[in-house]
Amino acid sequence: MSISSILVALLLVLAACAGDNAENGDDDGAAAEPETPTTEPEPEPESTETTEPEPVAHPSPGCEADPEATVVEEERTLTVDDVERRYLLTVPSAHDGETPLPVVFSSHGLMEGADIHSVMTAYSALAKEEGFVVVFPHGTDDPVRWNTRPESPNPDVVYFDAVLDQVNATLCIDESRVYATGLSNGAMFTSVLICERADVIAAAAPVAGIMDVEPCDQSRPVPLVSFHGTADGILLFNGGVDISGIPGSESADASEVPDAADPDTERPPVDLDGPGYPATIATFAERNGCDPDYTDTEATDELVHRVYDCPDGADVEFYIVVDGGHTWPSSEFSQSIEAFVGYTTFDIDATRDSWEFMSRFTTR
Assess if residue 48 is contained within a domain: no
Provide the 10 A C-beta neighbour count for residue 76.
Answer: 15
Average confidence score pLDDT of the chain: 86
Assess if residue 157 is contained within a domain: yes
Assess if residue 307 is contained within a domain: yes
Q: Note the pLDDT tens digit of each residue in 97-133.
A: 999 999 999 999 999 999 999 999 999 999 999 999 9
The angle, 0 to 180 degrees and rounded to 10, between the axes of the packed helices 123-130 and 350-358 is 40
Kindly write down the DSSP assignment for every residue of 161-213, as one continuous string.
HHHHHHHHHHS-EEEEEEEEEEETHHHHHHHHHHHH-TTTEEEEEEES-----
Assess if residue 12 is contained within a domain: no
Assess if residue 111 is contained within a domain: yes
**β-strand partners of 86:** 77
Q: What is the mean pLDDT of residues 197-216?
A: 97
DSSP strands (E only) in 233-315: 294-300, 303-308
Assess if residue 274 is contained within a domain: yes
Residue 308, domain extent? 61-358
For residues 326 and 10, the model is more confident at: 326
Q: What is the mean pLDDT of residues 124-143?
A: 97
Assess if residue 23 is contained within a domain: no
pLDDT value for 130:
98
Q: Residue 24: which pLDDT band, with cuts at 50, 70 and 90?
A: very low
Q: Note the pLDDT tens digit of each residue in 217-275.
A: 899 999 999 999 999 999 999 999 997 766 655 444 444 456 656 565 677 799 999 99
Tell me the residue length of the chain. 364
For residues 288 and 364, the model is more confident at: 288
Q: Is the Cβ–Cβ distance between 311 and 295 less than 8 Å?
A: no
Residue 66 sits in a domain of what CATH number? 3.40.50.1820
pLDDT value for 107:
98
Q: What is the mean pLDDT of residues 169-187?
A: 98
pLDDT value for 275:
97
Rounded to the nearest 10°, the torsion over CA 22, 23, 24, 30 is 50
Handedness of CA 347, 351, 355, 357 (dihedral sign): positive
Q: What is the pTM (predicted TM-score) of this model?
A: 0.83
Q: Is the pLDDT of residue 39 over 60?
A: no
Q: Is the Cβ–Cβ distance between 107 and 189 less than 8 Å?
A: yes
Q: Is the Cβ–Cβ distance between 95 and 101 less than 8 Å?
A: yes
Assess if residue 51 is contained within a domain: no
How many domains is the chain partitioned into structurally?
1
Q: In the chain, pLDDT over 70 holds for what percent of residues?
A: 79
